[in-house]
Amino acid sequence: MENEINYNEIITKLESVATDGFETYVQGVFVSSILWLLFNVVIIALACLGGYITYKAISEYEEDLFSMVAAGIIPAVVITVCLYGTVISLQGIFMPEFVAINEMIGR
């Protein structure tokens, strides 16, 4: 019986590999959430700046109400979408285990 297999030893090694893999995945979720948060903040700042510049340029040359509303709608939509992304990124920063488990089960 030299080729006897110790299943308990194999199971403990596999559990340690799975635990280490999960911890690595959680750290990846945390880092990607930070990067997405920074990306969203930059896009929000650029949308605010772009909306302000466009509004000033339009208000100097035209007093058309449609142009002013159109200049405000596009940045408002971009800001709204990026705020949603910011909230999702904050969730990944403060609860990376929850986000990792949700990604694994496919929600």
Place of tokens 């949308």: 47
Confidence label for 83 from pLDDT (cuts 50, 70 and 90): very high
Residue 63 reports pLDDT greater than 90? no
Q: What is residue 2's predicted lDDT score, i.e. its pLDDT? A: 56
φ and ψ of 6, to 5 deg: -95, 100
- Give the global pTM: 0.72
Those residues whose C-beta lies under 8 Å from the C-beta of residue 104, and which sit 6 or more positions away, are 25
Q: What is the pLDDT of residues 8-40, one digit of tens each?
A: 776 777 677 677 777 888 888 899 999 999 999
